[in-house]
Chain A
Amino acid sequence: MTGLNELESMLDASIRQVMEEIFATMVFMEISGQETSFGRRGVLTGDLSSMVGLAGDLKGVLTVSCPAAVATAVSSAMLGMELTELDEDVRDAMGEITNMVAGGLKSSLAAEGTMVNIAVPTTIIGRGMRTSGLPGAQRLTVPFTIGAGTFGVELQYVAR
């Protein structure tokens, strides 16, 4: 983790803080953040991906990608119902988490004078999925582990 610039450290800290808040106050589940990977291009795999675009002084895409077991466990805990399929309830729960993480990033960036607007989240459910950003973007991926498995929160961005 050497050579991180201030923006990278801030974005990393912001994602971790919001995820911890969401899991402590809305999902009521223990969550542990793993070591962040930084770089250029990356590919996330999973059974469910929720994505939301960020536009403005920083342009980007925030993606939460998880295995089915993680998505159903988190959504069940958050909505207080037993969910076993990747259905519309799971879509809503994971889309909302993605939206909240983007909102946290927006606030953290605004505090530094970087103004960002958020698009609407979209959730993609499927088999053998890979998500990818474009060349030229910076990337940071924070893996999180819960009882049901590990999932990734990834931000790809270009700072103006």
Chain B
Amino acid sequence: MSSFEEVVPKLIDSTVEIFSAMVMMDIEVAGEPMDSLGPMRDSITGMVGLAGTGRGVLAVHIPNKVAMAITSSFLGMEVDEINEDVQDAVGEIANMLGGNVKTILADRFDEIELSLPSTISGEEYVFLSQNDVDQIIIPFAVPDGKIHVELELERS
């Protein structure tokens, strides 16, 4: 986890900034960073790949209820199911976080490019990174529940 020491405060700041300024939702850190997360239930995950000299994945795990509230706030449309609008909103949040991670890691890796964002949703799922990857997971509280921001980086 030591490789994430400098990254964590910046990732927290970025997440808070994106939620306050873009999603218009109150958010605060809700605990210490973790290195693993159990199964997610009735949730949606937005993810974006990091490629180049630094390789990894940025993911944001959001319970369905919170994802619908985010979509309503972010896109200004009421939703009552996990539809394409929710997928778009969650994918776009992953994309914005990925863009910030690129900047955060700029002094460590001179070239990081983002892949397209994608989403995965389901009744119950576990998110497994490969063996040669370090990961850090930061919990955040928002009015409707808890979300997790996860950064995985390939060991160099």
Contact = CB atoms under 8 A, between A and B. Distances in A.
A128 B125 CA distance: 9
Contacts of A156: 116, 118
A124 B128 contact: yes
A55 B113 contact: yes
B119 A91 contact: no
Interface residues of B, number: 41
Given A60-B116, A132-B119, A134-B116, A126 B57 contact: no
B128 A88 contact: yes
A4 interface: no
Contacts of B128: 88, 91, 122-125
Contacts of A132: 84, 87, 91, 118-121
A interface, over-half SS: strand
Contacts, number: 143
Interface string A68-97: 000000000000000000001001100100
A131 interface: yes
B97 interface: no
A34 to B, nearest CB: 23
Contacts of B49: 52-55, 61, 118-120
6 contacts: A53-B116, A59-B113, A91-B128, A120-B55, A120-B132, A129-B125
Contacts of B88: 134-135
A60 to B, nearest CB: 5
Contact of B51 (A56, A91, A95, A128): A56
Nearest to A57: B113
B122 A120 contact: no
A130 B115 contact: no
B125 A51 contact: no
Interface in A103-160: 117-135, 137, 156-158
Contacts of B56: 119-120
B115 A124 contact: no
Given A120-B130, A122-B127, A53 B122 contact: no
Given A55-B50, A55-B52, A157-B116, 16 more contacts: A53-B49, A53-B50, A59-B115, A61-B116, A61-B117, A88-B128, A91-B128, A92-B131, A122-B47, A123-B128, A124-B45, A128-B123, A129-B121, A130-B120, A132-B87, A132-B121
